[in-house]
Structure 1
Amino acid sequence: MADSTAPSTAPSTAPSTAPSTALLTDHYELTMLQAALRSGTAHRRSVFELFPRRLPEGRRYGVVAGVGRALDAIESFRFDDPTLAALEDVVDAPTLEWLASYRFSGDVWGYAEGEAYFPYSPLVVVESTFAEAVLLETVLLSIYNHDSAVASAASRMTLAAGDRPCIEMGSRRTHEEAAVAAARAAYLAGFASTSNLAARRRYGVPTTGTSAHSFTLLHDTEADAFRAQVTSLGVDTTLLVDTYDVAEAVRRAVEIAGTGLGAVRLDSGDLAVQATEVRAQLDGLGATGTRIIVTSDLDEHAIAALAAAPVDGYGVGTELVTGSGHPTCGFVYKLVARESGAGEMESVAKRSVDKASVGGRKYALRRRSAAGVAESEVVGIGRAPVDDGDDRPLLVPLVRSGELVGREPLEAARERHLASRAELPVAVQQMSRGEPVIPTIHR
């Protein structure tokens, strides 16, 4: 019998056609387009940049996620007949006519998925006409802000967990579609599996799951529930042992499944104390290989606090899908260069107090020591900064002349994240609040 508690995957088969993403935008994108078309400025060459002005308060680094989903969104950004019909009372007829033939034909550069980022990192650079590029603002920000917030939290959790696996199980704590994206972002940042089956189908994220308290309460006795689960799923299953009395449940679990029981799950109480007591009980019963999985509103701080406890894995839900207190990264999408009336490219920048941006097309690299440890984020304005020899370029092509060139397997992003995090200074391992572990330098 196959063990349904072990992570399982299935090949992801993307549909040949996807629904239009063109309405995943703000009304003002289209009113700007209409006005620019009328003024004759819509087709000026422009450079937009998606970047963070700062990290979420107290965080030492962030993680780029959502790149693959953003590329899918760009590919599906089309104004078909139903979409155009929905906009008939939003924009005028000439604008509708222009939208009917919209295809993004520009270039997009960006940080590869899984990469660490810091304040003012130019995460996405969009080079196109104003008209083509401005329409992508909202959909890109919504994807990057959400997915990167989840991945940044997930990275801190897996860092705190060390070699112990983390399971994403937050689907019931967020919007149904956000749950799928969150599972993908968590896996990218090191989570071992998810409970979300849509993430398994769409992205190949391994899934796992056993039972809830309701399954135990359904049966006349706890023993009946355990027996039914073991009979159906095999002895390698995970039994939930805190519905009634934990010690008695552990005794029954081993009695029914034998000393080869896969795992027990604790979902309440003082997890460190309970795990210690349950470990001693399991070992006394001869179930020395039975793992202990803990759940219950865990975040990176709770996981770090359990480092000394005999815990074998963590199930994380609410705190993960809400970014562990930071549900958005605060990314913005700003025009940083545009073609002048004379046909020359010139830098532009917003200068508002507390919301200033840095004008000019950006280039970026990670400056590293001879030992390969990151020392700073160097951002060149107008041209690439000089490589000192141990530096690593950060911007990669994602879209070239309208063609998507940056797609990659999710596993590649997962591996990249581990490598990117590993080159950061040792201070990144601290869960306490602090400043970014490396500075951002503009040149």
Structure 2
Amino acid sequence: MVPIVARKVPLVDLGDGTALLTDRYELTMLQAALRSGTAGRRAIFEVFARHLPAGRRYGVVAGIGRLLDAIEAFRFDAAELEFLTSNDIVDEPTAHWLEEYRFSGNVWGYAEGDCYFPDSPILVVEGTFGEAVLLETLALSILNHDCAIASAASRMVQAAQGRPLIEMGSRRTHERAAVAAARAAYIAGFTTTSNLEAGRRHGVPTAGTSAHSFTLLHDGERHAFEAQLASLGHGTTLLVDTYDVERAVRTAVELAGPSLGAVRIDSGDLGVMARRVRDQLDALGARDTRIVVTGDLDEFGIAALAATPVDGYGVGTSLVTGSGAPTASLVYKLVARSDGPEPGAPMRPVAKRSTGKPSRGGRKTAVRRVDGHGVAYAETVSTGQLVPGPRDRLLQVPLVRDGKVIGREALREARERHARAVAELPTTAIQLSRGEPAIPTEFINGGPRP
């Protein structure tokens, strides 16, 4: 498949705001806090996962760039305020407050593409309670989806062992989720996507050739192949399992010769078929023609094909549904707040004591501990200021300062970071068998630690 790199366009579409992409209770809390005089108290919220999906060894941070765009567009316009007041969702004083809403606080987070573990403080939001609580649903909606997709995609990339993967799940999810999924998969190492909006909006390389309907449209397989080769050239990928695979491969090579780019197999026992097709291609002189397989693949199916002559994979349903874990189970919890609205008022830690859902109070910082061989061995989280060792990495970076986005970066940087982050983990991280997180999370309460 020949990738087509789309022209890059601005990532932010200001035609639609993001203010109502939230739950009603965010606004009811705001209204009550305004009435009690506590909405102006300084507050710190953190996003973290209490655990990884069963059997996963690490998670992948994705969606940070999309979240920054969404925070920038978080405004309440006249029509939205009319909806809120006319439906008795908020009262007039709250509507007036919302009319002037601009997030003016600070946000720190793990850089996009990095790995995370249970209780990693992957996002820290600081502002007044009123302005920070409104971002809860928006942040979780974006990060839970994108982190889940990227985490599944990363496992698939590792299972592929360097062979390219194309994301092709647009028809298996919501049309907007498909765009976000393609972006997250690319960060995690997928080579291309079939989704054109992901190419236009995010600059993800796109690829695609034809489906079975194209072959069925023509009077015969030969006519379909001739039409595709005439349009796309001999480097294209021909779908060979509409009728009889052996006959289709023979026809494809007769028409394109040894310069045929690839053939795609979408059904049957993919391992057995790939071996047969490879032998046939080699016997016909098409030794450089690649074999691409598709058809309900996940990381386990990809790993099972490791010893077969497959050159690339197309993944759809499993990718866009997180391969069984469609959410990263991230939560957004208040961990500290002041006693008054004054800027210099001291902050006190707060925490839930709910059975099964406790939280840890205090604003956290995190360091990835790395040994002399360049291998990570722990995630250290502290309510104090951590002092990293010479090989350790501070994990949180500034994303928003005084309401202004400062952490935006090119998608390729997140993609490169992810490759480095996975390479830094112990070898157990890429095992697909069930097991504990690749590195433990250790907590330190207060005080610096070298």
TM-score normalised over the length of structure 1? 0.98
Q: Which residue of 1 is the match for residue 423 of structure 2?
A: 422
How far did 1:344 drift? 2.3
Q: Which residue of 1 is the match for residue 447 of structure 2?
A: none
How far did 1:7 drift? 3.5
What is the CA–CA distance in structure 2 between the aligned matches of 1:15 and 1:267, rounded to whole Å?
36
How far did 1:14 drift? 4.1
Cα-to-partner distance string for 1:85-105 (whole Å, 9 max, x where unaligned): 111121000000000000000
Answer yes or no: is the 8 Å Cα contact 1:260–1:287 preserved in 2: yes
For residue 12 of structure 1, give the secondary structure of its aligned residue in structure 2.
coil
Q: Counterparts in 2 of 1:28-427, with a 5 A limit?
A: 28-88=25-85, 89-341=88-340, 343-381=345-383, 383-427=384-428
| Residue identity opposite 1:363 in structure 2 | T
For residue 69 of structure 2, give the secondary structure of its aligned residue in structure 1.
helix
How far did 1:412 drift? 0.3
How far did 1:13 drift? 3.2
Answer yes or no: is the 8 Å Cα contact 1:12–1:200 preserved in 2: no
Quickly say closer, same or farther: Cα 1:197–1:270, change in 2 above 3 A.
same
What is the CA–CA distance in structure 1 between the aligned matches of 2:242 and 2:427, rounded to whole Å?
41
How far did 1:15 drift? 5.7
For residue 258 of structure 1, give the secondary structure of its aligned residue in structure 2.
helix
Runs of 4+ displaced beyond 4 Å: none
What is the CA–CA distance in structure 2 between the aligned matches of 1:258 and 1:164, rounded to whole Å?
24
Q: Which residue of 2 is the match for residue 20 of structure 1?
A: 17
Cα-to-partner distance string for 1:177-222 (whole Å, 9 max, x where unaligned): 0000000000000000000000000000000000000000111111
| Residue identity opposite 2:22 in structure 1 | T
Question: Which 10-residue stretch deviates more, 8-17 or 102-111?
Answer: 8-17
Q: Which residue of 1 is the match for residue 448 of structure 2?
A: none
Quickly say closer, same or farther: Cα 1:388–1:14, change in 2 above 3 A.
closer
How far did 1:257 drift? 1.2
Residue correspondences, number: 439
How far did 1:389 drift? 2.4
Answer yes or no: is the 8 Å Cα contact 1:13–1:201 preserved in 2: no
RMSD: 1.1
Quickly say closer, same or farther: Cα 1:344–1:14, change in 2 above 3 A.
closer
TM-score normalised over the length of structure 2? 0.96
Question: Could you list the runs of 5+ residues in structure 2 that have no partner in the other structure?
Answer: 445-450
Cα-to-partner distance string for 1:26-49 (whole Å, 9 max, x where unaligned): 000000000000000000000000
Question: Could you list the runs of 5+ residues in structure 1 that have no partner in the other structure?
Answer: none
| Residue identity opposite 2:195 in structure 1 | N
Answer yes or no: is the 8 Å Cα contact 1:110–1:122 preserved in 2: yes
Among all aligned residue pairs of Structure 1 and Structure 2, give the percentage whose two residues are the same amino acid: 66
What is the CA–CA distance in structure 1 between the aligned matches of 2:3 and 2:250, rounded to whole Å?
23
What is the CA–CA distance in structure 1 between the aligned matches of 2:219 and 2:13, rounded to whole Å?
49
Cα-to-partner distance string for 1:139-159 (whole Å, 9 max, x where unaligned): 000000000000000000001
Question: Which 10-residue stretch deviates more, 428-437 or 408-417?
Answer: 428-437
Cα-to-partner distance string for 1:52-104 (whole Å, 9 max, x where unaligned): 00001110000000000000000000011111111112100000000000000
How far did 1:321 drift? 0.3
Answer yes or no: is the 8 Å Cα contact 1:18–1:76 preserved in 2: no
Cα-to-partner distance string for 1:373-403 (whole Å, 9 max, x where unaligned): 101000011x222323221000000000000
